[in-house]
Amino acid sequence: MIAKEDLEEVVAPMLEEAGAELVEIQVVPGAQQVQLRLFVDRPAGITVGECGRLSRRIARELDLLPGLAGGYRLEVSSPGMNRPIWTLDHFRRFVGESVCVVLREPHEGRTWHKGTIASVAGERIRLRVQGDEIVELGLGDIAKAHLELDAWKGRSRVNPAGRKRGEQEV
């Protein structure tokens, strides 16, 4: 079985070359095959077709690795609306978006915060929670975090057929 770190070492340069980033890797052992789940993204989002092309390219490279050829099932997909974030660059990229943060240790009596990423200054992340209250955290304070994106934010509520959401064709 391949380690996540080894898989990342093989996959990350290919994704970078294709203008994509590796968001998360899951390696799930199975009875006969290991399941490799790669969640990838681009700043403007990623399409199903792009995931398919990346999957074929990655599979060609993985087939060359000793002990892995044919012994895996590969899934390449978008991380979705609730994608995990864990680097300062991720937090910077999503300033203004809703996030749920789970802390390693309680902070001000809480083990998690839900709010909006207000800013990132140096190594500090500022979250706007409960109205205008600001909570400042270091990246090391965060055990895990994921976005809670609004599917309609910044998009028109009119579909390609010119109808508003929920409106029926007559």
Domain coordinates of the chain in residue numbers?
4-77, 88-147
Mean pLDDT rounded to a whole number for the chain: 84
β-strand partners of 41: 21
pTM above 0.85, yes or no: no
Superfamily of domain 88-147: Ribosome maturation factor RimP, C-terminal domain (2.30.30.180)
Given a cut of 50, whether residue 159 has pLDDT beyond it is: no
Q: Looking up tokens 């998690």, which residue turns up?
A: 112
Q: What tens digit of pLDDT does each residue of 94-115 get?
A: 999 999 999 999 987 899 999 9
Specify whether the CB–CB gap between 41 and 85 falls below 8 A.
no
Top mean-pLDDT range of 1-10, 33-42, 161-170: 33-42
Burial of residue 88 (CB within 10 Å: 0-12, 13-18, 19+) is middle
Q: CATH top-level class for 4-77? A: alpha beta
3-state helix, strand, coil in the chain (%, to 5): 20, 40, 40
Task: Specify the pLDDT at position 69.
Answer: 63
Share of the chain above pLDDT 70, in %: 86
pLDDT score recorded for residue 170 = 32
Give me the phi and psi of 145, to 5 degrees please: -150, 145
Q: Determine the length of the chain.
A: 170
Please check whether residue 125 is in contact with residue 72, taking contact to mean a CB–CB distance below 8 angstroms.
no
Q: Is the dihedral of CA 148, 151, 154, 157 positive or negative?
A: negative
What's the confidence (pLDDT) of residue 70? 67
Average pLDDT over residues 63-75: 82
Q: Which residue has the higher pLDDT, 149 or 169?
A: 149
Question: What percentage of residues in the chain have a pLDDT greater than 90?
Answer: 50
pLDDT value of residue 158? 36
Of 3-7, 31-35, 149-153, which range is least confident?
Answer: 149-153
pLDDT at 152: 63
Q: CB–CB of 38/89 below 8 Å?
A: no
pLDDT above 70 for 120: yes
pLDDT at 117: 95
Q: Is the pLDDT higher at 153 or at 16?
A: 16
